[in-house]
Amino acid sequence: MFYKFDNNTLVWRKDLKKTKIALSVVAVLMFATFLLGRFYRFTTLDEYEKELLVVSLEQEKNEFTEDKFAGELKRLNVRFPHIVMAQSILETGGFKSNIFKENHNLFGMKQANIRINTAKGTQNGHAYYDNWYESVYDYAFYQCRYLSTIRSEKEYFTYLSTSYAESGDKYVTSLKDVIEKHKLKELF
């Protein structure tokens, strides 16, 4: 019910015109909703359809792209992300290796035994993960555990050549080539 103030009598009076308009609008909306419901049967998803939708959304979320990877390195505040991304490009053969495709392992990492990790186990001699994100988390844990005192790129490369890679200085040279070729410093 709408009211309006009458200045002559100083009393609030019912405004029947506005009330009729409001009731008419509500009636039209109710009727339109009824008609839409009759002509367009709105249905809910059954359990199977819900599961398919959830799986599809989860796969889309977990789908690997270099942009998502770079974003995750930034989000986790991984140190020297351009070097880390170069490692992943080198270790996965440009994100095409079976270790990456089957194990979701971006870095060729083995399963850790004495530090926190996200690996689900070992497969094909390397750690395997449920998705590529877990591989990035594992590398971040690795970096926190073993590389927290490193302050410069030079120190980082030295560590990688002596403790991470099997080919030492050749590995570092390859990393630097990848960084330059893909312009990774500019990405971060």
Between 169-182 and 81-91, two packed helices, what is the crossing angle to 10 degrees? Answer: 110
H/E run at residue 142: helix 132-146
pLDDT at 170 over 90: yes
Amino acid at 86: A
Q: What is the mean pLDDT of the chain?
A: 84
pLDDT at 7 over 70: no
Residue ranges per structural domain of the chain: 3-39, 64-187
Q: Could you tell me the pTM of the whole model?
A: 0.68
Which tens digit of pLDDT belongs to each residue from 106-126? 999 999 989 999 999 999 999
CATH 3.40.50.261 assigned to 64-187: no
Pairing of strands 11-14, 126-128: unpaired
- CA 62, CA 79: separation in Å to the nearest integer? 23
Place of tokens 């050549």: 161
